[in-house]
């Protein structure tokens, strides 16, 4: 009965998409779904409206209310335009930035967005071609805009696209604007309410001049320019994985003084098909990084790096103690960045006592230990760079930001952009490799030294994918079960603390007391902490059909010779934790 009711509802909704307000191609696609005996695609395309969440839109491209297309993008933009006109009604001219990545339909969606904004009397600066996500954030601040939109689905599979909305500080929208924008988007009930016919006089094309200023700003971040010059021939393998970093990141590296940049020609082709990685350009995954690792081995690189398709994330490959090349996990990348920025500022006598760093709650606790040892304040925030940007905004004029990042390969070393940035992070990581080499060390030696000094940690992220309507329901059920039936023991160690960021409370199981968590909002994240220092975080993804588990184990590392054995121990322990959680 439920299936019959759902089919009736989606059929009625789909029939509306056969009206004259929709283009012929869309109508044909919808009609084909209606005519198909298998109604799976029809249901998946129409069982809900693609939700405009606190970060914007992300979904599979295609016809339908639950898909990325010019109509769902149009509704989001009309709602955002309506809110901008309400919020900034005293301005003579509201201004926005519009950018996009290399994905299929990204240019179409970006031009659609630009047309709708301009039709609503809003001045649009439209990038001439694909640009990094962080450059969109930078341009908003540079040009004094009130908002911005970037069309990107980051590292999602090729079938996806997305829509990221930014505010006047260059950060993704947060409260109260996020909820207010969502309310305005939800008020768009009919395609006739969307102003698709643009005003060319209000659309200005931008590009090279912004690129040049951006690269020059990034170069001001260098802490070791003399070392960069000495190590100018550092062997650096770089791949954009078919994305927007192809031209601008090598330019950024050369501006820092690095001139031995080794490319992977097949992956320098900018295309939304992402052919060399099977259509899934996620640099966190070994298959995606296979060609970078092979190239690093071939040339015996000092470091190999990648940016994801919209060039906000960074992946790093280094040689291990056995002479093989390893893909660092996101926590190791964060540890290296934060350690270098704190240690190098200390070396240069730049620490004045007002410095701070930021990490997310699912990122390694080792970073907190390093910060405490250096006397540097550290902020923990929710996953997502809008929360890191919120900390930055709250500390403007009060403290000096050194860096902030999250375990999902995102880092931001600057304040002139407010989203994770591989265009600045990649030359900074090259500088770290040069700094280590200048001391007769490899990157791996440096990481081991950090573990010896501050304690060993190893982390692993596991994603359990559950696509579609039934998958979404299963993810809800899994989170409910972990809350209502919490783990009492993990890998033989008792759970001593549970943090529930949806309820904003933590339970100390040793003291048998419950206290409030001080956070700016709620988030569907659950964390277990055990007596031996293990941390397990569980959260549904906000952008993909998956539930994520973040596992972190700790121990001491007495000497470099014991590093490989300690890694083996940690892998075995994490395997046991996965079995205990039922995700092995």
Which H or E run contains 538? strand 535-540
Q: How far apart are CA 505 and CA 518, in angstroms?
A: 9
Angle between helix 133-142 and 422-438 (nearest 10): 110
Q: Spot the catalytic one: 45, 65, 147, 154.
A: 154
Angle subtended at Cα 513 by Cα 508 and Cα 517, rounded to the nearest 5 degrees: 70
Which of 74, 335, 70 minimizes the C-alpha distance to 185?
74
Angle between helix 208-219 and 422-438 (nearest 10): 30
Q: Catalytic annotation on 65?
A: no
| Contact yes or no for 547/466 (Cβ under 8 A) | yes
- Assigned token pair, 427: 């030359």
| Contact yes or no for 327/339 (Cβ under 8 A) | no
Which H or E run contains 460? strand 456-465
Which residues make Cβ contacts (< 8 Å) with residue 555, sequence separation at least 6? 455, 456, 533, 566, 569, 570
Angle subtended at Cα 440 by Cα 434 and Cα 442, rounded to the nearest 5 degrees: 65
Q: How far apart are CA 515 and CA 507, in angstroms?
A: 7
Which of 322, 134, 327 minimizes the C-alpha distance to 217?
134
Kindly list the catalytic residues: 154
């Amino acid at each position: 009965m439920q299936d019959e009711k759902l089919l009736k509802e989606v059929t009625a909704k789909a029939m509306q998409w056969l009206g004259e307000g929709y283009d012929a191609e869309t109508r044909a696609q919808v009609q084909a779904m209606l005519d198909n005996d298998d109604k799976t695609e029809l249901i998946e395309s129409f069982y809900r409206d693609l939700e405009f969440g606190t970060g914007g839109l992300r979904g599979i491209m295609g016809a339908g209310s639950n898909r990325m297309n010019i109509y769902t993008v149009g509704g989001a933009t009309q709602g955002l335009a309506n809110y901008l006109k309400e919020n900034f009604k005293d301005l003579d001219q509201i201004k926005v930035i519009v950018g996009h990545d290399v994905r299929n339909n990204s240019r179409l969606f970006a031009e659609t967005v630009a047309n709708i904004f301009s039709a609503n009397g809003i001045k649009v600066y439209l990038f001439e071609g694909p640009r990094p996500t962080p450059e969109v954030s930078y341009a908003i601040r540079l040009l004094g805009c009130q908002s911005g939109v970037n069309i990107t689905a980051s590292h999602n599979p090729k079938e996806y696209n997305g829509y990221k909305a930014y505010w006047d500080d260059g950060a993704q929208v947060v409260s109260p604007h996020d909820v207010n924008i969502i309310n305005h988007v939800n008020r768009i009930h009919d395609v006739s309410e969307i102003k698709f016919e643009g005003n060319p006089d209000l659309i200005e094309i931008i590009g090279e001049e912004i690129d040049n200023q951006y690269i020059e700003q990034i170069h001001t971040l260098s802490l070791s320019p003399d070392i960069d010059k000495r190590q100018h021939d550092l062997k650096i393998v770089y791949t954009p994985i078919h994305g927007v970093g192809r031209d601008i990141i090598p330019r950024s590296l050369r501006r820092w003084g690095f001139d031995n940049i080794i490319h992977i020609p097949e992956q320098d082709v900018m295309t939304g098909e992402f052919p060399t990685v099977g259509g899934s350009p996620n640099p966190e995954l070994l298959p995606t990084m296979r060609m970078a690792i092979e190239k690093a081995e071939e040339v015996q690189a000092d470091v190999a790096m990648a940016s994801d398709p919209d060039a906000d994330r960074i992946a790093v490959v280094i040689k291990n103690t056995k002479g093989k090349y390893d893909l660092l996990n996101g926590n190791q990348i964060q540890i290296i960045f934060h350690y270098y920025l704190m240690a190098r500022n200390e070396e240069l006598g730049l620490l004045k006592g007002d410095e701070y760093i930021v990490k997310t709650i699912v990122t390694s606790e080792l970073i907190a230990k390093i910060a405490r040892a250096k006397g540097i304040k550290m902020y923990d925030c929710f996953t997502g760079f809008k929360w890191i940007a919120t900390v930055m905004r709250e500390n403007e004029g009060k403290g000096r930001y050194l860096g902030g990042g999250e375990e999902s390969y995102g880092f931001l070393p600057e304040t002139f952009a407010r989203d994770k940035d591989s265009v600045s992070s990649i030359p900074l990581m090259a500088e770290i490799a040069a700094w280590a080499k200048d001391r007769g060390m490899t990157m791996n030696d440096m990481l081991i030294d950090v573990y010896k000094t501050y304690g060993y940690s190893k982390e692993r992220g596991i994603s359990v994918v559950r696509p579609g309507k039934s998958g979404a329901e299963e993810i809800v059920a899994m989170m409910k079960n972990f809350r209502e039936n919490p783990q009492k023991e993990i890998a033989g160690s008792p759970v001593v603390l549970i943090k529930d960021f949806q309820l904003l409370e933590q339970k100390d199981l040793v003291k048998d007391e419950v206290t409030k968590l001080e956070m700016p909002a709620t988030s569907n994240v659950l964390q277990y902490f055990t007596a031996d220092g293990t941390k397990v975080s569980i959260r549904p993804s906000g952008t993909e059909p998956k539930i994520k588990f973040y596992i972190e184990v700790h121990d001491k590392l007495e000497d470099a010779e014991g590093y490989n054995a300690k890694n083996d121990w940690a892998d075995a322990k994490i395997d046991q934790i996965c079995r205990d959680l039922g995700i092995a």
